[in-house]
């Protein structure tokens, strides 16, 4: 038997009242995400990608439709599902260890220390346990944010353009790091981006959103194994396909 989807989005629409009128942001979104899958949600800025992610995460209530995770309807935020945002959310008054261990207050001291050490090492921050965020580079702060999210052992990660504020070289490094961590942790990941290369490098499938009111234009399977050769004909073909889907083919 085929296992049920980890995440199921059914007939989702979202409208916001504004100045006596209504803005329709999302329209009739249907999507299923398998357990352990990394799905990128790709679309132009302002099309409603982050709104969709916030609804799936339980932070917003849709105008109509439903979201189910593990066949249970999402009614609000859940500690089993963690967000990682572009605006780094680390606490500046806590050290690396303090940030990673922030959500582990229910654990005993020994188990908490063991889990902190494991995730600090997993994201490559060994040796910086006592450093404060202002002493870290942008990429290291983002690694810290990922470590803090993983430490509470979520079953779904929602990443909202987490590398958007980083320089291009650091973004490439962080994408590789995310894939390495994913192999180790086997989490289900929904990743919002407007970066086509990022989606082809990371995703099992790419969900291409239209302009607002956003619908799903197309779902593209990225049929390449990792690590992906960014100069291969298949990579270039998939990138060009996505460029065409969002209307940028032959324009850049």
Residue 236 has pLDDT above 90, yes or no: yes
CA–CA distance, 45 with 54 (Å, rounded to integer): 15
Q: Which pLDDT score is estimated for 98?
A: 94
Q: Is 4 within the bounds of a domain?
A: no
Tens digits of per-residue pLDDT, 164-175? 878 888 888 888
The residue-averaged pLDDT of 39-60 equals 93
Burial class from Cβ neighbours inside 10 Å (0-12, 13-18, 19+) for residue 106 reads exposed
Backbone angles phi, psi at 156, to 5 degrees: -135, 135
Residue 200 has pLDDT above 90, yes or no: yes
Tens digits of per-residue pLDDT, 91-147? 899 999 999 998 898 889 999 999 999 999 988 899 999 999 999 988 888 889 888
Query: If pLDDT is split at 50, 70 and 90, which confidence band does 83 have?
Result: confident
Q: Which pLDDT score is estimated for 198?
A: 94
Q: Which pLDDT score is estimated for 249?
A: 56
Q: Is 129 within the bounds of a domain?
A: yes
Residue 49 has pLDDT above 90, yes or no: yes
Query: If pLDDT is split at 50, 70 and 90, which confidence band does 86 have?
Result: low
Total domains in the chain come to 1
Full domain range(s) for residue 171: 35-58+76-245
Radius of gyration, CA atoms only, the chain: 19
The residue-averaged pLDDT of 36-55 equals 93
Mean per-residue pLDDT of the chain: 90
The residue-averaged pLDDT of 4-21 equals 93
Q: Is 135 within the bounds of a domain?
A: yes
Q: Is 218 within the bounds of a domain?
A: yes
The residue-averaged pLDDT of 218-236 equals 95
Q: Is 117 within the bounds of a domain?
A: yes
**pTM > 0.75:** yes
Residue 252 has pLDDT above 90, yes or no: no
Q: Which pLDDT score is estimated for 143?
A: 87
The residue-averaged pLDDT of 176-185 equals 87
Q: Which pLDDT score is estimated for 172?
A: 87
Q: Is 239 within the bounds of a domain?
A: yes
Residue 57 has pLDDT above 70, yes or no: yes
Residue 219 has pLDDT above 70, yes or no: yes
Q: Is 86 within the bounds of a domain?
A: yes
Looking at residue 196, which CATH number applies to its domain? 3.40.50.300
Q: Which pLDDT score is estimated for 248?
A: 66
Q: Is 2 within the bounds of a domain?
A: no
**Better pLDDT: 246 or 228:** 228
């Amino acid at each position: 038997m085929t296992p049920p989807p980890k995440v199921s989005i059914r007939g989702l629409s979202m409208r916001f009242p504004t100045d006596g009128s209504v803005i329709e942001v999302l329209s009739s979104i249907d999507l299923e995400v398998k357990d352990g899958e990394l799905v990128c949600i790709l679309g132009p800025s302002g099309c409603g990608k982050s709104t969709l992610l916030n609804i799936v995460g339980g932070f917003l209530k849709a105008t109509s439709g439903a979201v189910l995770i593990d066949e249970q309807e999402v009614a609000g935020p859940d500690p089993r599902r963690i967000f990682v945002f572009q605006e780094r959310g680390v606490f500046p008054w806590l050290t690396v260890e303090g940030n990673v261990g922030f959500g582990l207050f229910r654990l005993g001291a020994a188990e908490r220390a063991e889990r902190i050490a494991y995730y600090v090492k997993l994201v490559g921050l060994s040796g910086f346990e006592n450093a404060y965020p202002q002493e870290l580079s942008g990429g290291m702060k983002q690694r810290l944010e990922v470590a803090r999210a993983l430490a509470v052992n979520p079953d779904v990660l929602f990443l909202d353009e987490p590398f958007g504020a980083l320089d291009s070289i650091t973004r490439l490094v962080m994408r590789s790091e995310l894939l390495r961590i994913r192999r180790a942790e086997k989490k289900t990941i929904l990743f919002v981006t407007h970066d086509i290369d990022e989606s082809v490098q990371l995703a099992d499938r790419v969900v291409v959103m239209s302009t607002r009111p956003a619908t799903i234009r197309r779902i593209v399977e990225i049929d390449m194994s990792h690590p992906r050769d960014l100069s291969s004909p298949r990579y270039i073909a998939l990138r060009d396909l996505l460029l065409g889907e969002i209307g940028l083919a032959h324009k850049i």
